């Protein structure tokens, strides 16, 4: 029985939603955020157009995704996206834009609409070339424009 409560989660399916949520929480750790007890809130997800069908479900880039603490307070949020380099385990979800709660409001943590440097550096050269060749959504990303193996194209996040 599914414990998914939003239409967004239902379209992803349990397996893919669990996989994507784990990746998004792992991505938060790259920005120094302790993810213990945090959950992803899909209730306000807004479609952004980059989508894919994988064996266990459907994923689309989305804005207005929140991260909640164990008390239900929003501690971070933003726009999520993904790269796909073949097979379900080669799907990499990440925060395209990210802001975190701060004492005086929100702090912007990631504001460039690019594949995060830490994710790009973790890909093999074959995976980088696959993203460059097969996913039009990333054709203007400096890393992809450099064709992966031919240069880093790294940008400040």
Domain boundaries, the chain: 7-114
Residues 6+ away with beta carbon under 8 Å from 113: 96, 97
pTM above 0.75, yes or no: yes
Yes or no: say if 96 and 81 are a contact pair by the CB < 8 Å rule.
yes
Q: What pLDDT is recorded for position 151?
A: 45
3-state class of 153 per DSSP? coil
**Tokens encoding 107:** 């702090």
User: Alpha-carbon distance 146 to 140, whole Å?
Assistant: 10
Query: What distance in Å separates the CA atoms of residue 151 and residue 147, rounded to the nearest whole number?
Result: 7
What does the pLDDT look like over 65-78, one tens digit per residue? Answer: 999 999 999 999 99
CB atoms under 10 Å from CB of 32, counted, come to 8
């Amino acid at each position: 029985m599914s414990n998914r409560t939003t239409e967004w989660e239902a379209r992803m399916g349990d397996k893919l939603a669990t996989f994507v949520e784990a990746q998004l929480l792992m991505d938060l750790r790259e920005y120094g955020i302790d993810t213990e007890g945090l959950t992803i809130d899909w209730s306000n997800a807004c479609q952004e157009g980059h989508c894919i069908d994988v064996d266990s479900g459907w994923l689309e880039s989305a804005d207005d995704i929140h991260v909640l603490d164990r008390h239900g307070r929003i501690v971070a949020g933003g726009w999520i996206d993904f790269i796909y380099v073949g097979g379900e385990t080669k799907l990499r979800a990440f925060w395209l834009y990210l802001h975190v709660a701060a004492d005086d409001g929100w702090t912007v943590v990631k504001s460039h609409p690019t594949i995060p440097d830490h994710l790009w550096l973790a890909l093999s050269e074959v995976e980088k070339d696959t993203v460059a060749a097969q996913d039009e959504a990333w054709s203007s990303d400096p890393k992809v424009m450099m064709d992966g193996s031919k240069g880093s194209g790294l940008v400040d996040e």
